[in-house]
Chains A and B, each alone.
Chain A
Amino acid sequence: EPEVTQTPSHQVTQMGQEVILRCVPISNHLYFYWYRQILGQKVEFLVSFYNNEISEKSEIFDDQFSVERPDGSNFTLKIRSTKLEDSAMYFCASSESLGLIQYFGAGTRLSVL
């Protein structure tokens, strides 16, 4: 069964550094999402992406965040200058079409020191 894959599984970085989290959505999916989960809190929506542009973003997704689909397979989340409070589990998801089931990756645990 096709899966959403995320790399790395764990990323450790120093405060102020840039990080790029990578995702490979399921191949025939057209809609892509990022969510995050701070330890002990709920899974929160960050951004959705379709047709090479952001279709919706939350208030968490400020100027420090950006997303990109640099080629036909990868979908990346960049945090320009990480803060301690960016430490969280980041989940990528994809869906075949708007309104259909979102399939999640296993997540990247980001630790900002």
Chain B
Amino acid sequence: AQRVTQPEKLLSVFKGAPVELKCNYSYSGSPELFWYVQYSRQRLQLLLRHISRESIKGFTADLNKGETSFHLKKPFAQEEDSAMYYCALRLSGGSNYKLTFGKGTLLTVNP
């Protein structure tokens, strides 16, 4: 069965510092990987998906199949980046399109 691991429950950085939120997955096939973000009192919203290969709000994430990782990075964190970040996996192909989430990392960006 597929699994997503986010090793850090909490991550605290100062404004302007680089930030990396780690995500590792276990799945033998070719998954789709996503980062969802939940700002305080708001809904889960998609931040990035690996197949888009785009940068959103300065965040990027690269799928590393060798290390089975999909870490989220931003070179200069901003206070408004403070939120809960969830890495999620979806199997590609077939009829199984459920998302499997990690436990999430709460990012706090201090002034």
Interface segment, one of B10-18, B19-27, B63-71, B99-107: B99-107
- Whether A45 contacts B42 by the Cβ 8 Å rule is no
Is A33 among interface residues, defined by CB-CB distance under 8 A?
yes
The residues of A that contact B100 with a CB separation of less than 8 Å are 45
**In the bound complex, how far is the Cα of B99 from the Cα of A55, in angstroms?**
14
The residues of B that contact A43 with a CB separation of less than 8 Å are 44, 86, 88, 99, 101, 104
CB < 8 Å: which of B36, B46, B88, B103 contacts A41?
B103
How many residues on B have C-beta within 8 angstroms of the other chain's C-beta atoms? 20
The residues of B that contact A95 with a CB separation of less than 8 Å are 97
With contact pairs A55-B95, A56-B98, A98-B95 given, residues A42 and B43 touching in the complex (Cβ less than 8 Å) = no
Is B28 among interface residues, defined by CB-CB distance under 8 A?
no
The residues of A that contact B110 with a CB separation of less than 8 Å are none
Main secondary structure of the interface of B (DSSP, over half): loop
With contact pairs A42-B102, A42-B104, A43-B86 given, residues A101 and B46 touching in the complex (Cβ less than 8 Å) = yes
Is A68 among interface residues, defined by CB-CB distance under 8 A?
no
- Whether B99 contacts A45 by the Cβ 8 Å rule is yes
**In the bound complex, how far is the Cα of B95 from the Cα of A56, in angstroms?**
8
The residues of A that contact B55 with a CB separation of less than 8 Å are none
Flag B81-111 by CB within 8 Å of A: 1 or 0 each.
Answer: 0000010100010011111111110000000
The residues of A that contact B101 with a CB separation of less than 8 Å are 35, 42-44
Which residues of A come within 8 Å of B, CB atoms? 3-4, 31, 33, 35, 41-45, 48, 55-56, 58, 91, 95, 98-99, 101-107
Q: Pick 26 A–B contacts, CB within 8 A, sort by A.
A: A3-B43, A35-B99, A35-B101, A41-B103, A42-B86, A42-B101, A42-B103, A43-B44, A43-B86, A43-B99, A43-B101, A43-B104, A45-B99, A48-B97, A48-B98, A56-B95, A56-B96, A98-B97, A99-B97, A101-B46, A102-B46, A104-B36, A104-B44, A104-B45, A105-B43, A106-B43
